[in-house]
Amino acid sequence: MGKGKLAKFDDLSQMPHVFQNFSWSDPQLINYQKEAVNYNGRWATDFFQNGQPIILELACGYGEYTMAMAEHLPNHNIIGVDIKGNRIWTGARYIQEKQLTNAAFVRTTIDLIHHFFGAAEISEIWIPFPDPHNRHSKQNKRLTSPKFLELYRKILMPDGVIHLKTDSDLLYKYTLEVVEKEGCTIIENYRDLYNSPFANPLLSVSTRYERLNISGADTIKYVQFRLGQK
């Protein structure tokens, strides 16, 4: 039987590679020593202490991509971001057990990420299997909505890229529409990823949500794009 939520939260609070925000009105990250820390613009030098490029996994859930990228991209720093501490715990424990020094987790709502990362600090953003928010009234919550693309512009390098992997036809089509309207550049676009000649082995990483196949879709979609400048 797995650990309960309270036990997982207690574990997270003691992990040096996990940082948590507990306030919407006064966003700040708290470390395992119960201290407020500010690595904005200085994650690579001050926390990771290696100067390597930083990749974010947003809505990371159990951290499957954070774990995979940390192992397969040793010359990059990987940070998983999610609000659900009991889910982050799975990835954070794995990183701890494997003693991977190029990975961390930030527990916060994604709406606040611009408070924790500096301008042009992030080289890539991965969004594997986010909630598609199927209701039209919730489209502003979709992680590829104009609202979130504007947040990403604040932290991505000028040539930084965004990866979306989804089984949702709705989110896939919506993203393509937003990308066009926002003047973004599509680099790769697969309507049926696993029947396409993709070169990036990370695209074969399967998340728990992908395996659940919540949407009932027959294919996995993937879009990689670069933000247009405003």
**154 within some domain:** no
Q: Tokens 């992030």 — which residue?
A: 122
pLDDT at residue 229, rounded to an integer = 72
pLDDT at 214: 55
203: in domain: no
Domain count, the chain: 1
Question: 132 with 166: CB under 8 angstroms?
Answer: yes
Phi-psi region of 137 (alpha: psi -120 to 50; beta: other; left: phi over 0): alpha
Residue 161 is assigned to a structural domain of this protein? no
Output the pLDDT for position 58: 98
Any idea which residues carry the catalytic annotation?
A: 131
Q: Measured between alpha carbons, how far is 189 from 224 in angstroms, rounded to an integer?
A: 6
Burial class of residue 100, CB neighbours in 10 A (0-12, 13-18, 19+): middle
N-term to C-term CA, the chain:
50
Backbone angles phi, psi at 38, to 5 degrees: -135, 105
135 is a domain residue = no
The whole model's pTM is what? 0.94
Question: What residue has token string 């799975």?
Answer: 90
Whether residue 63 is contained in a domain is answered as yes
pLDDT of residue 1: 38
Is 52 inside a domain boundary?
A: yes
Report the chain (230 residues): mean pLDDT per 10 consecutive residues: 78 96 95 97 97 97 95 97 94 96 98 97 97 93 97 96 96 97 96 89 82 70 89
pLDDT at 198: 86
- Residue 62 domain-assigned (yes or no): yes
Q: What CATH number corresponds to the domain at position 21?
A: 3.40.50.150
Which domain range does residue 32 map to? 5-118
- Using H for helix, E for strand and C for coil, what is the string for the chain? CCCCHHHHHHHHCCCCCEEECCCCCCCCEECCCCCEECCCCCHHHHHCCCCCCEEEEECCCCCHHHHHHHHHCCCCEEEEEECCHHHHHHHHHHHHHHCCCCEEEEECCHHHHHHCCCCCCEEEEEEECCCCCCCHHHHHHCCCCHHHHHHHHHHEEEEEEEEEEECCHHHHHHHHHHHHHCCCEEEEEECCHHHCCCCCHHHHCCCHHHHHCCCCCCCCEEEEEECCCC
In a domain, 139, yes or no: no
